[in-house]
Every structure is written in C-alpha cells, then in structure tokens.
Amino acid sequence: MAVSASLRAFLDQAIDYAGMFPPCALALEPALRNQASYVRSSEAWMLNGFVLPVEQFDAARQFLSEFDPQHPLRVAALGPKTTNADAFLAGLGKAETAIRSFSRSDVDLVSVSHLEMFLPDDVDSASLKEARAIVGELPVFWEAPPEKAEQTIALIAGHNSDDDTPTFGYKLRTGGVTADAFPTSAQIALASGNGSFASAPDQVYGWAASSNPAISRRSENEDARISQCAGSRSPCGGTSMGRPIKP
C-alpha cells in the first residue's frame, strides 16, 4: 500500500520497540530477534529504537550478530529508577559508563540514540548541572509523573537557559497496561506546551524515541504491522512523549 508523504513525515522513526515490557514481557533474546527482523521489514522506516535498560547491555552483546551495518541495532536506553538525588547521580554515572562501553562494542552494529531516566522529587538545578557533566552531549529525557509536569518543565527550562549547555528534555508517560497509567488530556496539554504552560518552549519532539521533530509515541502500533508487539495503543505497551525545552 502506498504511503502518503504526510503520513511518512508524521510516522518516520516514530515507534520504539518495547517488547521486553508488559504485557508482552518478552525475554531479551526473542525481543532482540524480533527487532532484527523488524529493521529489515518494509515498514522499518517507522521504527526507531529498541528500548533497553542499561543493566541489560552486557547480556545484549551476545546477540549483536543478529544485526549488520545496513540494519544496526539502535537503542533507546533506560536508566535506573531512583528515589533521591544522590542515588540518581550515582545511577546516572553507572548508566553513562554502560552506554559508552556498549556503544563501543561494535560501532557498525550498535548505537545509543538517547537516555531516558526518572527524575526524583529532590533533584534541583545543581543536580541537573552535575547530571550534564556526567552525560556530556548525550541527549537525555527526564521522566516525571503528570502531576509534576509543570514543576519539572520549569526546572529543566531553567537549566536549559544557558545557551552554551546542551539541553535536556522532559518525558511524559502517556499510557500503560492499567487505566491509572493514562494522564488526562489537560495534563498532556500542559506537558506539551498547549495548556497553562503554553509560554514555555515552542518545540515538541518525540524522544521516546525519535530523532524527528514531531510528537512520537513510545510503544507498539498494531496498524504499523511491524509486529504483534510493536505499535502505539496496542496491548503490548504504553505510550510516552517527550520534548526538548527552551526557557
């Protein structure tokens, strides 16, 4: 079936494959074998990264042979979820080390597009400065719950006010396997810059992941036909959206 230019522009690299997560909850090996198949499919233009926790990087190395330079493994890295600023910075340091090591496993076969990591309540502007020193130029999206969106976006915007500093982005999880995992439309509008925080940044990016300047969705789309576990709004995963933020 022919794909319109507008649809291709909207969905280009819009889907992350999250097959290791509920309710699919596949083991690492079958999930990576699925990814290796999907990147060779005719719908691969819609596919972006393979969602992979950093603690699984070492185990994933043995399956890199499933990929080739024309069909590499592109990873959307997930950092550990921590509960306070000290643990956050320690976990971030370990995540950065793991990402750097994994990216060097075989530069022709694997790359890490960005990192996503939960932001504890007590992280402040000083903590974000330390975080940037840790990750360098790596694109990072900090996740916070919908009720913390305005506060978190303001914190990130303050950090991003330095034009000489690479910007961070905000990630809003917009779905899951239970009803309470879905934010309200008002919360989504606020996080995307269309609500009471509309004076905040005018760019909305899909990083969960997409390198494309468009809203994207983490998850799994039945209609994308990339697989039974790859598409948005399917039972195989929730959704998320992210945006780099300028003050």
pLDDT band at 144 (very low <50, low <70, confident <90, very high): very high
| Cβ contacts of 123 within 8 Å, gap of 6 or more | 85, 88, 131, 155
| Average pLDDT score over the chain | 81
- Is the distance from CB of 241 to CB of 172 less than 8 angstroms? yes
pLDDT of residue 242: 60
| Cβ contacts of 108 within 8 Å, gap of 6 or more | 69, 72
What pLDDT digit, counting tens, does each position of 173-217 carry? Answer: 888 888 888 999 988 887 776 433 332 333 333 333 323 222 233
Does the pLDDT at position 45 exceed 50? yes
Does the pLDDT at position 124 exceed 50? yes
pLDDT of residue 221: 32
Strands (E), the chain: 15-17, 47-53, 73-78, 110-118, 140-143, 169-173, 217-218, 240-244
Does the pLDDT at position 245 exceed 80? no
What pLDDT digit, counting tens, does each position of 74-115 carry? Answer: 999 999 999 999 999 999 999 999 999 999 999 999 999 999
Q: Among 53, 134, 117, 57, which residue's Cα sits nearest to residue 83?
A: 117
pLDDT of residue 165: 75
Hey, what's the torsion of the CAs at 49, 237, 141, 109, to 10 degrees?
-20
pLDDT of residue 201: 33
Half-sphere exposure of 145 (CA within 13 A, CB side): 7
Q: Are strands 240-244 and 73-78 parallel, antiparallel or unpaired?
A: unpaired
End-to-end CA distance of the chain: 43
What pLDDT digit, counting tens, does each position of 7-34 carry? Answer: 999 999 988 999 999 878 999 999 999 9
- Is the distance from CB of 213 to CB of 46 less than 8 angstroms? no
pLDDT of residue 178: 87
Does the pLDDT at position 232 exceed 50? no
- Rounded to whole angstroms, the Cα distance separating 17 from 52 reads 9
- Rounded to whole angstroms, the Cα distance separating 150 from 66 reads 42
pLDDT of residue 190: 79
Structure tokens that stand for 227 in this block = 């697989």
- Rounded to whole angstroms, the Cα distance separating 154 from 174 reads 20
- Is the distance from CB of 50 to CB of 32 less than 8 angstroms? yes
Q: Is 28 helix (H, G, I), strand (E, B) or coil?
A: helix
